[in-house]
Structure 1
């Protein structure tokens, strides 16, 4: 070993490898380790040039300082301790480990049996002990100085009521775009061509699928596939290496700065509920080898893992140091990388307490709610996991917003004309008050979506009756079985003009419904372009043409329609209110603001709502005070959602000097808005129409 490195005591905080201008402080948490070693590597990362024990331990934090060490130094960890799987301990110093606080990784593990802490060819394999060195197959951690010249970077801080989220995959969005430099990278995501697309479309926030360093699962690699989505995190502080064009974390910061300049927020899909190490048969890459019994929730027989996530393990958020790691990670991405919020994968898992179920007062939520940094950014929960009582839509505490899968399913079923779906759509149009109107939560708590990365694209919702996941190699057993989709006559691609016309119409109806609903809309990147995944509703492993957005096949007509619907939403604040609308007097001003009407103009009765054949919803939205909202003109909007046959619609009466104008008709997407209306109008079949009041000239 090289004698040129000397380790002194250092400090127990901050955790990780921290450059202070003169050297690097290392601090690593492990409650059950007996010895912690830092391994230093040559500049090219190939040769292990030093092993140095962390000399001090304060509580459960091992620490030491190496003077003269600089950013760019490659390193890893080795932890000594008991190898007693039957007691929950899996220490193995022959395995090079990733520092959980590493700010950059050089790449991904290369699959080899040496990555396992046990001898894979043995009976009761995970109880055995493997002595092969895993270092040749492991990526290196890299010491980084994350300082960045932000200039006058200003976070957009877009209010939730004005937010339109755009869920995107870093590579999939940019890979085939002809105008993008460095496609497939963070820099490509913020290229001039992409900024132009975002701003013309009108979205206000890009939500990135996992961009923290993640694992390529062995079973996928063995099948010639890859972990495309990224829901197998290995480094909660490190950007995903494949998205770095030149291997610099500043590329992520540059992306954020450029998006901020365009007024667009950056949200991150983060996975703190599990890691990529899997169950007891998984590799020893980081957390398992550093302190298995602390980082993971274990069964009463601690050889085995609690699996509320369906991935083999569950992160032990009950442990204060594990919770600290999550909080440190979130603050790092906000304060150092300047992101504007997070979407939490399987967030119900983070709210599980001990061996019990979900608790909205769990330590994770309490830590978030008291944090002066994190309460200033957007927080979005995926409100379910696969554990007992895991579906918790509407149960999360403020300030969390939540993905609303009931919005997705109800809108799809209504436009498929399923019987009895109209009352559900009425609730979705008004912010899903049944789920969210409590505890002072705003209507914007409902993140409304038609589609997401997990499931069909919007084009596939109207093109396929069933999933086509053959390329995944799982015999069609993966992915949702019920998608509430309809191919409108032919499964998949067709040249039939009538079917193509019907599909285009249904897409317009669904997009219009999304953008006319109270709540926070989210659009899946590519839906505005008519992107298809060829019927694959679980493309998590498809880093190829199935998942990449094909810009050469963009549906320009639907793109234009989506742009105009976003602009319409922005122009009419009545569609994006913070307070819930109700068909009753409001305590705030004593005025009604929501009216449900029959096609003949009369108020809806209980029997009307109970009719399973109801397929035409007519709703009038008024301002809270009865005064104009903008431009001294608008006081009301009347919207019709007709999944049935053509009907004659009676418009509500308006005050003297006002009139209704027809602004949106999904059957005539190219027609100029603003047509004057009489007392009644002929409402087309299978269509959305919107009328706005204006002062008569």
Structure 2
């Protein structure tokens, strides 16, 4: 009988079970009836079937009479030698790492899920009542004519969201669907995403998770879900109907695809929920600790590059197979369009050192399925040389923390020079201008789930994380934030106006610069977490979006949608090549070319940039005016970079001849609440345009001999 595939596979007359373990001496599949062995419900009845076949370290066997819906787990026996990394304990029921669905949650009650006692001896308590049961799955889903949108990277706009937090308080969604996969698939939510110009929703972890011991001890839960227990199983928390999480997830993807929206999953393959060597034994540790985890001290302790207690041994063939099988499953069976890899530097470590040629990257590069989907890295971890921004392979896109930090520091006044700003405005060529990469290698973001919301970024100087239960030790202390004179909420009209303008500045930078913009859910409607920059354990109003929108929130939502339309309208804002010296001109406020010393001068906090037309729109030139100073600046407007005419025989790109008719029109001015082309006010080259303190403007000029691009 074949040892493949891994996990539980239903077939006519029964189910085939297979589990990989190199050092096990026995593997048993344990079958539970409905309600038997449910988490915390006592032992119940359990039928044990030994898997007697073993081929290539895969223990397998066919169990007659078992079909879809069957609840099961594994018990694995083998050497008990924790000091050398062997943690086999048949008293512990283990989740199948290939399970397509789970039933129940982990319970720490009584401590039975830990495999050893305080003295290091093997714990004999049966953990079955306290461990989720794996479920045999086999029901097909009717995908109909589902077709992934395949949105090009240059046209992609990402919206990062938590499944529950996004929809739980939405008044227009059926109450039974709020906080679920089907809530995201609802018409009100899809309409909101489309109005924002979103082309891809990036979901925070939807794999089954487990609360860490420290979190459970405080009576809290890991709301974010970066603590994986099942790499194939959709999280039960987000199902509207018990046991329907697989089908409901698929229905969500299908609905989003119908609306032209891709689905990207935030996935956690760098570590698991089992923590360090003192953590629980729930699946990989008990299956074969030495295979699945990086170990040190002869195997007695886990290696932790992640800050979560352990690091998966991705360089091991079976671990690499598990990860790739999981990824392919989510693409082929669940139809997702891409992945954002949490702490992705760990995935590229073979032993200790990171390499862009690590086995993980090579395997994905050649895989006929995975090489065609969107791959995004969080390019850092907590190990040596953990920041690897700009060092991932060409097919990858990377969360650009330098963009986040540079924009925050410039606009919030933490950086008294322009030295970094030019790179961030032009696609971060200092990081990504390498063979095979383009400006779309940069995922640009100002905020993410981890940190302040956009509203809080301009309302708080200090984090306020007391509710997390860690005495304020958690969360970053370096936020480059500002509060405009008042910490937190205020009714001061001048402070509120300054904050609103600053939010518009950040959003303009996000949508109007080269790279792939990512907006965090709720930023478009002024969501606040009351200064908490790490609410990973708060499943409450702190984390849920409040959809009772006041006029300012509605105006900002419309502003974001207008920015997205401008980005779509002007190809120069969605560049796929880096700027060279001929297609962008940097100018000071008087219209003179920027000098090298200007970029580092602390007194220079304003500049303009004129971009030549894109090949797809050869008659339109764009101009940025940025004033990061505390006083207003009068910019002398440059001449547009336009040809005299388009088509054959057009003049080379360059300043328009004196007396030309091209004029600047204002598309964005962040002193205003909207982002609409002003067709009434025209500004000739050489005229003065005054930009208030901490304000940005985008001006557009169209060759009068060409089509009236963008003026409608």
TM-score normalised over the length of structure 1: 0.94
Deviation (angstroms), 1:116 = 3.6
Counterpart selection for 1:482 from 478, 484, 499: 478
Match of 1:683 among 690, 693, 700: 690
1:638 alignment partner in structure 2: 623
Q: Determine the C-alpha separation between the residues in 2 that align with 1:21 and 1:502.
A: 67
Q: Is it true that 1:576 corresponds to 2:580 in the alignment?
A: no
Kept in 1, the 8 Å contact 2:417–2:599? The answer is no
Matches within 5 A, 1:128-527: 128-145=121-138, 147-181=140-174, 182-246=177-241, 247-248=243-244, 249-354=246-351, 356-527=352-523
How far off is 1:475 after superposition? 1.2
Residue 671 of structure 2: aligned partner: 667
Instruction: Tell me the secondary structure at the aligned position of residue 676 of structure 1.
Output: coil
Shift of 1:146: 5.0
Q: Is the 1:39–1:76 contact (alpha carbons within 8 Å) kept by the matching residues of 2?
A: yes
Contact 1:90 1:117 in 2 (8 A): no
Contact 1:413–1:421 (8 Å) recurs in 2: no
Match of 2:59, SS state, is strand
Q: Which residue of 2 aligns with 1:7?
A: none
Partner of 1:550, secondary structure, is: coil
Q: Which blocks of at least 5 consecutive residues in structure 2 are unaligned?
A: 38-43, 641-655
1:22 positional shift: 3.5
Q: Deviations over 1:147-196 (max 9, x none)?
A: 21100001000000000000000001111001122111111111111011
**Residue 604 (structure 1) aligned to one of 580, 584, 594:** 594
When the two structures are aligned, how many residues end up with a matched partner? 670
Shift of 1:55: 1.6
Q: Distance in 1 between matches of 2:81 and 2:273?
A: 21
TM-fit CA distance, 1:501: 0.6
The range that moved more, 285-294 or 412-421, is 412-421
Would you say 1:652 and 2:638 are equivalent positions? Answer: yes
User: Could you list the per-position Cα deviations for residues 238-281 of structure 1 after superposition, in whole angstroms to 9, with x for gaps in the alignment?
Assistant: 00111112122111000000000000000000000000001111
Q: Within 5 Å, which residues of 2 pair with 1:21-36?
A: 21-36=12-27
Rounded to whole Å, the distance in 2 between the matches of 1:117 and 1:472 is 25
Q: How far 1:623 moved relative to its partner?
A: 2.9
- Does the aligned pair in 1 maintain the 2:68–2:139 contact within 8 Å? no
Q: Residue 645 of structure 2 aligns with which residue?
A: none
Cα distance 1:531–1:69, how it changes in 2: closer, same or farther (>3 A)?
A: same
1:76 Cα deviation after fit: 0.4
Contact 2:87 2:115 in 1 (8 A): no
Displacement after TM superposition at 1:669 (Å): 2.5
User: Unaligned stretches of 5+ in structure 1?
Assistant: 1-9, 585-591
Do 1:666 and 1:689's aligned partners in 2 also have CA atoms closer than 8 Å? Answer: yes
For 1:513 and 1:422, the matched residues in 2 are separated by 15
For 2:149 and 2:667, locate their aligned partners in 1 and report how far apart those are by CA, in whole Å.
30
**Aligned pair in 2 of structure 1 residues 92, 386: CA closer, same or farther (>3 Å)?**
same
Displacement of 1:383 after TM fit?
0.4
Deviation at 1:114? 4.0
Q: Is residue 2:574 matched to residue 1:593?
A: no
Post-superposition shift, 1:541? 0.6
- Secondary structure in structure 2 of the residue aligned to 1:253: helix
Q: Which residue of 1 aligns with 2:557?
A: 559
Distance verdict in 2 for CA 1:21–1:523, change over 3 Å: farther
Q: Work out the CA distance in 2 between the residues paired with 1:312 and 1:682.
A: 55
Query: 2:537 maps to which residue?
Result: 541
1:80 to partner: Cα distance: 0.6
